[in-house]
Copies of this chain bind each other. A is one copy, B any other.
């Protein structure tokens, strides 16, 4: 378990940050190096190309997110709570980033994939891989909701895929319209797709 050099990690984190905030094509290697405070020589010591860096950076980003996902989707929790927690994390994360930068960020994996899937096969494959791992959480959630009789579903996998597409679409639209309004209607839309009743409003104000 060799630990990675500080410069390498800095490059990875900076890359995610910048690419997520704008796009792969509009962020140059020099930009990333400058912001990370690392020399270009080091960049090409650690990564053999810009594309390689992107793959590694998004892989790392997903790794960091996984522990959170595992907590949210813990089988300990009742599935309805998992669902609420998941949607809440998405909404709050998007809002927080919006407040911080004034731009709706959307889903970083989807944005990167959408930009580069026709040009860079390695990046496309990595994004596909991460997205599929992400959708597994939803799949199991749908299965558990059905097992508890909370939803009717004849094909759990299909329903999960539909939810996942909807989710990606909402985040994309939110980014394009640069408005929180779309993510705000996300929980309602998800519940409708699942055929769930709206939850009682939180404790009176």
Contact B119 A176 (CB under 8 A): no
Smallest CB–CB gap between A23 and chain B, Å?
A: 5
Which of under 10, 10 to 19, 20 to 34, or 35 or more describes the interface residues of A?
35 or more
Contact A192 B114 (CB under 8 A): no
Per the 8 Å Cβ criterion, residues 116-166 of A in contact with B are 116-119, 124, 127-128, 131, 158-159, 161-162, 164-166
Per-residue 0/1 for A100-112: is the Cβ within 8 Å of any B Cβ (1 yes, 0 no)?
A: 0001011000110
Query: A182 in the interface, Cβ–Cβ < 8 Å?
Result: yes
Contact A165 B189 (CB under 8 A): yes
| Complex alpha-carbon distance, A165 and B185, angstroms | 11
Given contacts A22-B119, A23-B118, A119-B26, are A113 and B168 in contact (CB under 8 A)? no
Query: A57 in the interface, Cβ–Cβ < 8 Å?
Result: no
Contact B25 A173 (CB under 8 A): no
Copies of chain A in the complex = 2
Contacts of A173 in B (CB 8 A): 131, 164-165, 168
Contact B158 A165 (CB under 8 A): no
Main secondary structure of the interface of A (DSSP, over half): helix
Contact B22 A124 (CB under 8 A): no
Query: A33 in the interface, Cβ–Cβ < 8 Å?
Result: no
Of the candidates B21, B23, B131, B158, which one forms a contact with A115 in the assembled complex, judged by CB atoms under 8 Å apart?
Answer: B23
Given contacts A166-B162, A182-B165, A192-B162, are A114 and B172 in contact (CB under 8 A)? yes
Interface of A toward B, CB cutoff 8 Å: 21-26, 103, 105-106, 110-111, 113-119, 124, 127-128, 131, 158-159, 161-162, 164-170, 172-173, 175-178, 182, 185, 188-189, 192-193
